[in-house]
Amino acid sequence: MPNNYLNTPQFIEALKAGDPKAYTFLVDTYHHKLCIYAYSLINNQKAAEDIVQNVFIRTWKKRNGLKPDFEIRSFLYKSVYNEFIDEYRKQKLVVPLEKKYIDALTTMMENEDEHALERKIKLVKRSIQDLPPKCKEIFMLSKQDGLTNLEIAEYKQLSIKSVEAHITKAFSILRQSIGEEMHQVLFLMFRSLKSDTPAFGGE
């Protein structure tokens, strides 16, 4: 079946009628893409797969409520996002800044192909590696190790202004490589850098 079949009333009607071929086509088309997205949010492969599985099951159970003009791609990504938020809230509150990045990521994933985020993460990683050595060290202490500027200053025996200058320089260089989406990508990267679980699709 061609992918544009997903965007037709015929496909929605097939789902509503309980056609197993339509459901299989839906899963085959979106499972891997949604797992990548869910993993980028929750940073746990098993949890990501569980979220996606729950979304597909719920979609199937509620198929009778689907409308002919239903945009299935947007619905699936938003459903994964909502599942993630529900799970995340069980662990801790989503602070406004995190929600801002997560919302931006959702839009990014809805509008781009499944490999776009992986490419951007690789681009930022390369740009970090190319930072001047001192700048890179200070930046990683801040973002990867989670140290405050004061802690970095005391640890490296630098002034706080010097630490701030290095971090500002790093952000400026990284922004040149990827633009304003840099903040969302960094937010996701440095959550995943603390995990030993490889991302879907590998490096």
Would you kindly state where each structural domain of the chain is located, as residue ranges? Answer: 9-92, 114-192
Q: What is the pLDDT of residue 72?
A: 82
**Cα–Cα–Cα angle for 55, 61, 66, nearest 5°?**
90
Tell me the average pLDDT across 170-197.
69
pLDDT band at 145 (very low <50, low <70, confident <90, very high): confident
CATH of domain 9-92: 1.10.1740.10
Q: What is the pLDDT of residue 163?
A: 94
If you search the block for the tokens 């509150």, which residue do you land on? 93
DSSP H helical ranges for the chain:
9-16, 20-42, 45-61, 72-91, 96-111, 116-129, 133-143, 149-156, 160-178, 182-192
Report which of residues 152 and 110 the model is more confident about: 152
Check if CATH label 1.10.10.10 holds for domain 114-192: yes
Taking the C-alpha atoms of residue 141 and residue 151, their distance in angstroms, rounded to an integer, is 9
Taking the C-alpha atoms of residue 136 and residue 142, their distance in angstroms, rounded to an integer, is 10
pLDDT(200) > 50: no
pLDDT band at 81 (very low <50, low <70, confident <90, very high): confident
pLDDT(17) > 80: yes
